[in-house]
Structures are given as structure tokens and as C-alpha cells.
Amino acid sequence: MRRVFVTGVGVVSPVGFGRRDFWEALVAGRSGAAPIENFDASGLDRQVACEVKGFRPRDFLTAAEARRAGRCSAMAIAAARMAVEDAKLKTEHLAGPRTAVVLGTTMGEANVLGQLEAAWIHRGEQSVEPAALPRYGTTLLPIHLARALGATGMVQTMPAACAAGNYAIGYAADQIRAGRADVAVAGASEVIEKLQFAGFARLGAITPDVCRPFDQQRRGLMVGEGAGILILESEESVVRRGATVLAEIGGYGLACDAHHITRPHPEGEGSTTAMRMAIASSGLRPEDVDFVNAHGTGTSANDKIESLVLAEIFGARQPILTSNKSILGHCMGAASAIEAVSCVLSLQTGIVPPTIHYEHPDPECAVNLVANEARSAKIDVVVNNSAAFGGYDAVLTLAREGVLPPPRDPWAVQAEGATA
């Protein structure tokens, strides 16, 4: 079992591009919510979202790449290029079959599909441009990215809805541990598209004003978009090229609620299983966790159940907690990837960004929240929590370099009852 390190991060978010702008906005608690500009929302019941504003693909992509890629892939490529630069990776480190690309998403190039279908529905089959058809395909996300970076190893899409980022990062780490790759470009990307925005609105999930996770008066989530990418490397790769380590990937845990397609399990069963697995497979105990980056969507059900899970795992000693979604919105498939970037930056700086709009403590959410103002703290170990439609639960553990014990034999973890 090989160690896996994070050596670079890149992000395209509703509050800024690149780690510096992103982090500054997150720590300052500047919300990305604004009236929707990318599509006509005038006929919808909700008209505010956390869109990525001012993103110009040509600032990050070649002309040929920009022609091939939809917005979702373009944001992933942009974030990846920032991560590669952050990691000081050269082409020779990335090119070839030992680099894997693993990306999560919910709907991939949803707006490419939306445009194709709108043409077909309104103007008939002949109006659909054949050359545009192959530009839709969820599988394209890692393909575009691999082409951009010269990677020729595994290309993998993990569509795990709002837990997709953690799925992708965890799975990429697995491949490095197993020796199937030395470097992995892992994360997730998502765009806001009219249909899916309208769907969330029809489910009554979108807040009419602001997103206030864990607040007693929370009224729903704010839809967001963006891309978060981590560069993962084996220990050998880090040593070979003298890379700077930003964090170490611990374990990750996956489980399925098998309860309801959109609602969480009433006792948080799957989420508890996944979080236990993530902590135990890192060779840690719950008391070793300093900080939890919450799923924290701001919906009544999620925040209540997540609080239950945290109480079950951590008991009276609750680690500090924050929800980036109060600022970034819920970037769906990209959420836990962007939040993983935030986790890495917290480990690097010892700062936890605030959960904004928090005014009314909720007895049903008895959490140790970093409310409204960023906080400095000792952060050696962070747990990145996520959950999704389909009952998917995925939890990732990250730590400062030198904190984690050597990777554990899965048999030992199993013997403790934390896995199957």
C-alpha cells in the first residue's frame, strides 16, 4: 500500500479562480450568489444561483481545446492547468501512461445536451448539427483533460451526483496505492443548466433568499457550479521530483443509504458507515479529527441528519465544522472536489473559512460551527463529507504531511469492523 499525497490544487469557483482568489473570498465569507445570467430564469420560481462569472475558456484553453470542449470540460481543464502549475509539474512528469485522470460530475456537459435537445424539440431533427453531437458525452470530461495534459493512462468518469468529487479523488488515490498510476489528476466539474435548476426548484430544495447551513431558519440550498482539481502523487513520485507536499490523502469511505432516491436516511446510516470507514482506513480514531468540512447543503433534512451523524461519530467532542456551501452554493458534482481544495488550504494555513448567514442556532443541529467569521485552529486532520441523490455517501480524510500512520492493510481495518 503506497502513500498518496496532494501536491497541487486548482479551482474554478463562483467566488474566484485559482487558489489565491478562491481562498481569499472563502475566508472573507464573500458569497457567490447573484441573479442568474447564463440562461433565462425569468419564468422560474427561483432566479438566484452561484454561477461562475467571467470564465473565458480561451484564458486557459488553446483554440482547438476551446472548440472541442463544453463549459463543464473547459472548467475542468482550467482548474487542472492551475493545479499542474501549483504542483510545478512539468510535461514530462504528466505525459504518458502512468498518469490517470479521474473526474466526477452529476450531468457532465448538460448545457451541450440542453442546446442540442432545444434545437431538436423546436426545429426538428435536421436542425441538429451533426458535428455538435459528439461534444455531448459524460465520458468526455477526463478525455479532454487527458488530451490537454498529455496523459495516456486511465481516463475515468465517476458520476456520483453531489458526492462525485470525493468518489473521484478517493478512487484516484486507490489507483495510485494499487500501483496502477503514479500521478492522478482528480476532481470534479459541474455546470448549472436550466433543466436541472428547474428540477431542484420543483423539488422545493432551493432557498428563496440565502443559504444558511445548520441555521434553524434554513430554507434550502443555493445551486452552484465550478470545478476543483487535485494533483495526487505516489510517495515515489514526490521524492523523485522533489515535489512540495500540500497534504496526504488518508482513507475514504463509501456507503449507500438504500433508502430514498433524494432524501437522506432518517438515522444517517449510510453516512455514518462511510465516515467511520474513512477515519478507520486512515489509521485514525474519531478523536484525531480536528475539522469536518460539512456537506452542509442548507436543506432542513440534510443538516439535521448530518448533525446526527456527527454526534454519533464524535460524541461530546465535536470537531469544528464549516459548510463552504453557504458561500459557494452547492456546486453539485463538483462540490466535494472544490471543498477538498478548501480542506487542503485549511491544512496549509490553519484557517477554517466561515459558514456565513448563521444567526439562529438549531437544537437539532448541535454542531461546533465556525459561524460567520473565519477561525484559526490546529488542523492536522480534516474529514470532507458528502452525500448525494441515489443514497450515495462518500467521505474523504486528508491530513497534514507527517501526521498519518503508514497506510494500513485493509484486513486490519476490516478486523476492526469498519469495513466489510
Cell of 38: 447564463
Q: Does 270 bind other proteins (CB under 8 A)?
A: yes
Please list, in sequence order, all residues whose beta carbon lies within 8 angstroms of the beta carbon of residue 402, skipping any fewer than 6 positions away: none
Q: How far is 71 from 82, CA to CA, in rounded Å?
A: 17
Residue of 50, 72, 93, 162 marked catalytic? 162
Q: What is the Cα–Cα distance from 334 to 186, expressed in whole angstroms?
A: 11
Quote the least distance from Cβ 369 to other proteins, whole Å. 29
Distance between CA atoms of 22 and 353, rounded to whole angstroms? 11
Tell me if 406 contacts other proteins by CB under 8 A: no
295: annotated active-site residue: yes
Residues 46-85 that bind other proteins (CB under 8 A): 62, 64, 68
* Residue among 225, 217, 242 at smallest CA distance from 328: 225
Cβ nearer to other proteins, comparing 301 with 366: 301
Candidates 72, 102, 226; CA nearest to 169 is 102
CB of 418 to other proteins, least distance (A): 9
Minimum distance, C-beta of residue 120 to other proteins, in the bound complex (Å): 7
Q: Which of residues 193-222 bind other proteins (CB under 8 A)?
A: 194-196, 198-199, 201-204
Provide the minimum distance between the beta carbon of 42 and other proteins in the complex, in angstroms, as a whole number.
11
Among 24, 117, 359, 364, binds other proteins (CB under 8 A): 117
Kindly state the smallest distance separating residue 150's Cβ from other proteins, in Å.
Answer: 8
User: Looking at 43, 54, 208, 363, which residue binds other proteins (CB under 8 A)?
Assistant: 43
Looking only at residues 287 through 326 of this chain, which bind other proteins when binding is defined by CB under 8 A? none
Residues 371-400 interacting with other proteins (rule: CB under 8 A):
388-392
Residue in this structure with the C-alpha cell 432545444, named with its chain if needed: 118
Q: Which residue in this structure is represented by grid cell 458569497?
A: 31
Q: Mark the segment that binds other proteins (CB under 8 A) among 112-120, 235-243, 316-324, 374-382.
A: 112-120
Determine the Cα–Cα distance for residues 82 and 63; give it in Å rounded to an integer: 18
By the rule CB under 8 A, 353 interacts with other proteins? no
Q: By CB under 8 A, is residue 17 in contact with other proteins?
A: no
Catalytic-residue membership of 330 = yes
Q: Which of 322, 384, 315 is nearest to 26 (CA)?
A: 322
Residue 259 contacts other proteins per CB under 8 A: yes
Give yes or no for residue 273 binding other proteins (CB under 8 A): yes
Distance CA 342, CA 352 (A): 9
Q: Is 147 a binder of other proteins (CB under 8 A)?
A: yes
What is the rounded CA–CA span in Å between residue 13 and residue 341? 11
CA quadruple 225, 306, 346, 167: dihedral sign: negative
Sign of the torsion angle spanned by Cα atoms 234, 168, 174, 406: positive
Q: Which residues are catalytic?
A: 162, 295, 330
